[in-house]
């Protein structure tokens, strides 16, 4: 249970440092306080241990509210399910062959990377390596980390970040990986080495998650929630209205959503968040439900009353939204 709780804390917070906090270390000593259910499952293809016992998998369901409270009480972020997707370009050189891994390539390094990404809750995407990719870049472009070529070839995948890995084995047998993460106009580089392939690869995903979490997962500010007005265009039906409010309500950065005003083809929502406008903007940018609109001039909106505190029907007010989006059909 302790190992499972460590994994869930890493996944939800996105920060490796979470396991070094004294209060959380103490909480890990009594993991059952945070567990709702757990049981052992037999795998589809059971194997036996050295002493002849069948191996089983531990399945655990944690109390989401309790885990979130533990993190917030210790000034750690709670990272929602909507996360930036990362496109991986990786070349593996084992001194015998050099391979550019992709969607249809079987490779031990890729398997290890995908498993660690799953444990850390990182949406990892792989290139198709089809004719379009082959015409846009070569294995040498990835190995040489030619930034312009790689980023140009990555546009078709519409990922929020691009991770480049160059994996090679030295004559000593040790493994080294040179990593580069491209994210929102920034570049981060680091190296990792290990006696085994897994030791060299794991820091690639861990550092990627930690870096992205610093940008996309904010620690909740103390005090009352701030109020943000978000205008959503393209609301032509009740189904559209429900889709928009459902999406906004599900964002981890949002604590409350209320309709503020209704016009002919758009709705103004009042959102509450402890992390303010930036957190909401970043969370929405990771989804595929709303697209940002540059609205320079606020338009008059004829309010339809929601409660006694709203303007009367037919009253026109000039409202300026903090954020403006269009609903994707």
Nearest to 321 by CA among 218, 243, 232: 232
What is the distance, to the nearest Å, from the Cα of residue 283 to the centroid of all Cα atoms in its chain?
9
Query: CB of 135 within 8 A of CB of 145?
Result: no
pLDDT digits (tens, 9 = 90+) for 208-219: 999 998 888 766
pLDDT band at 223 (very low <50, low <70, confident <90, very high): low
Query: CB of 98 within 8 A of CB of 80?
Result: no
| Distance separating alpha carbons of residues 18 and 89, to the nearest angstrom | 29
Mark residue 296 as left, alpha or beta (left: phi above 0; alpha: psi -120 to 50; beta: remaining). Answer: alpha
pLDDT digits (tens, 9 = 90+) for 165-187: 999 999 999 999 999 999 988 99
Q: Output the pLDDT for position 295.
A: 64
Q: Which residue has the higher pLDDT, 43 or 132?
A: 132
pLDDT band at 225 (very low <50, low <70, confident <90, very high): low
pLDDT band at 137 (very low <50, low <70, confident <90, very high): very high
Q: Output the pLDDT for position 21.
A: 95
Q: State the alpha helices, DSSP H only, in the chain.
A: 2-13, 22-28, 64-73, 108-120, 131-136, 139-143, 147-154, 197-216, 238-250, 276-285
pLDDT digits (tens, 9 = 90+) for 76-134: 988 887 788 999 999 999 999 999 999 888 899 999 999 999 999 999 999 999 999 99
pLDDT band at 316 (very low <50, low <70, confident <90, very high): very low
Residue 264 has pLDDT above 70, yes or no: yes
| Distance separating alpha carbons of residues 67 and 261, to the nearest angstrom | 36
Q: Output the pLDDT for position 40.
A: 83
Range picked from 176-185, 223-232, 246-255 for highest mean pLDDT: 176-185
Query: CB of 272 within 8 A of CB of 227?
Result: yes
Residue 302 has pLDDT above 50, yes or no: no
| Distance separating alpha carbons of residues 46 and 20, to the nearest angstrom | 35
Question: Residues in the chain, how many?
Answer: 329
Half-sphere exposure of 301 (CA within 13 A, CB side): 23
Residue 63 has pLDDT above 90, yes or no: yes
Q: Output the pLDDT for position 51.
A: 67
pLDDT band at 44 (very low <50, low <70, confident <90, very high): low
| Distance separating alpha carbons of residues 98 and 113, to the nearest angstrom | 17
Q: Output the pLDDT for position 88.
A: 97
């Amino acid at each position: 249970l302790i190992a499972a709780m460590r994994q869930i804390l890493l996944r939800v917070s996105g920060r490796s440092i979470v396991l070094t906090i004294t209060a959380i270390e103490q909480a890990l000593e009594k993991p059952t306080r945070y567990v709702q259910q757990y049981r052992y499952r037999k795998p589809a293809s059971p194997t036996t241990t050295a002493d002849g016992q069948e191996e089983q998998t531990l399945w655990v369901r944690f109390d989401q509210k309790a885990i979130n409270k533990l993190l917030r009480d210790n000034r750690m972020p709670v990272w929602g399910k909507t996360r930036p997707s990362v496109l991986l370009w990786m070349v593996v050189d084992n001194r015998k062959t050099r391979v550019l891994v992709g969607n249809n390539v079987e490779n031990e390094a890729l398997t290890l990377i995908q498993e660690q990404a799953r444990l850390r809750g990182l949406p990892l995407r792989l290139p198709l390596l089809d004719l379009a990719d082959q015409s846009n870049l070569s294995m040498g472009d990835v190995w040489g980390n030619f930034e312009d070529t790689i980023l140009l070839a990555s546009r078709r995948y519409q990922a929020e970040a691009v991770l480049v890995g160059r994996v090679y084995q030295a004559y000593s047998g040790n493994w080294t990986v040179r990593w580069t993460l491209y994210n929102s106009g920034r570049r981060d580089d680091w190296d990792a080495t290990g006696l085994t392939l897994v030791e060299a690869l794991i820091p690639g995903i861990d550092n990627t998650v930690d870096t992205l979490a610093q940008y996309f997962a904010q620690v909740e500010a103390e005090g009352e929630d701030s109020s943000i007005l978000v205008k959503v265009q393209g609301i032509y039906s009740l189904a559209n209205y429900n889709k928009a409010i459902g999406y906004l309500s599900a964002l981890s950065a949002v604590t409350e959503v209320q309709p503020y005003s209704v016009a002919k083809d758009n709705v103004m929502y009042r959102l509450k968040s402890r992390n303010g406008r930036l957190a909401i903007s970043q969370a929405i940018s990771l989804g595929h439900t709303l697209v940002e609109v540059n609205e320079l001039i606020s338009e008059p909106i004829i309010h339809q009353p929601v409660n006694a505190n709203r303007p009367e029907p037919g009253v026109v007010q000039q409202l300026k939204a903090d954020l403006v989006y269009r609903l994707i059909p």
